[in-house]
């Protein structure tokens, strides 16, 4: 299979004209020796990490299917550490759409003058550009539209989808006594339809249990038996 993209935590191969295979890697991201799923730096490898992310993504993509939320998910193979998905077009070179239920991480660092740590937020959505070189800059609605990354209508659909999926994930985690603080999605177009792409794993969300952050791997074991 042709390698289309080699990312920090996944590689993307072309399966056929319409489908891709995502290979989940064992690389972990973080900074200063501390694991941080939001980081742009690869810290090292952790045996079984790819499978763990895949297991959790499989769980959530199946949950989305059940709830009728469009995504790129077709099937996954835990033995092969991969997921088969529909090919989708990103918006520009990719947007990250964050949905926040509590003030934490980069939001808190930026707005520390006004936000308290863990202050409740009402499914607040922020969009950043995937651009490691420039630290994934935040972008507002007008700029997204005027730079031609998407239309006003597409932006509204994406925000509503991000909130909807975030609430589905939040509620599912809550059943296991886990609290979702924030979650990051990517969206793409398959033809005219806007769908959830990428993965939905511990790499893309911050989850707490009894006030302590749950590391991605442990999270996967708690979420997807």
Distance (Å, whole) CA 23 – CA 49: 12
Residues 83-122 that bind a copy of itself (CB under 8 A): 92-93, 107, 109-115, 121-122
Helix (H, G, I), strand (E, B) or coil at 131: coil
Judged by CB, which is closer to a copy of itself: 163, or 209? 163
Residue 11 forms beta bridges with which residues?
6, 23
CB 75 to a copy of itself: min, Å: 33
The single-letter DSSP state of residue 123 is E
**Site map 50..89 versus a copy of itself, x via CB under 8 A:** ----------------------------------------
Which distant-in-sequence residues (6+ apart) come within 8 Å of 191 by Cβ?
Answer: none
Q: Show the CA angle centred on residue 124, arms to residues 121 and 125, nearest 5°.
A: 160
Would you say 2 or 134 has its CB closer to a copy of itself?
Answer: 134
End-to-end CA distance of the chain: 31
Helices 152-175, 49-66: axis angle to 10 degrees equals 110
Please choose, out of 5-13, 17-25, 56-64, 124-132, the segment that lies near a copy of itself by the rule CB under 8 A: 124-132
Residue closer to a copy of itself (CB basis): 56 or 129: 129
Figure out which of the listed residues 17, 146, 192, 210 binds a copy of itself, where binding follows CB under 8 A: 146
* Pair of tokens at residue 167: 């609430």
List residues binding a copy of itself (CB under 8 A).
92-93, 107, 109-115, 121-122, 124-127, 129, 131, 134, 137-143, 146-149
């Amino acid at each position: 299979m042709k390698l289309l993209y080699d990312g920090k935590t996944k590689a993307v191969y072309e399966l056929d004209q319409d489908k891709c295979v995502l290979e989940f890697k064992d690389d972990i991201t973080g900074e200063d020796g501390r694991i941080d799923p939001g980081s742009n730096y690869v810290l090292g490898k952790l045996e079984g990490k790819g499978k763990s992310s895949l297991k959790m993504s499989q769980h959530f993509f199946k949950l989305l299917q059940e709830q009728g939320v469009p995504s790129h998910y077709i099937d996954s193979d835990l033995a092969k550490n991969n997921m088969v998905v529909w090919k989708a077009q990103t918006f520009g070179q990719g947007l990250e759409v964050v949905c926040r239920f509590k003030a934490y991480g980069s939001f808190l660092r930026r707005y520390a003058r006004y936000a308290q740590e863990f202050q409740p937020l009402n499914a607040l959505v922020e969009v950043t550009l995937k651009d490691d070189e420039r630290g994934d800059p935040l972008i507002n609605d007008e700029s997204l539209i005027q730079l031609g990354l998407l239309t006003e209508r597409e932006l509204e659909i994406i925000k509503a989808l991000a909130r909807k999926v975030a609430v589905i994930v939040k509620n599912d985690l809550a059943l296991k006594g886990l609290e979702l603080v924030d979650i990051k999605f990517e969206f793409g177009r398959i033809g005219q339809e806007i769908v959830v792409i990428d993965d939905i794993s511990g790499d893309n969300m911050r989850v707490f249990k009894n006030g302590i952050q749950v590391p991605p791997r442990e999270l996967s074991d708690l979420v997807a038996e």
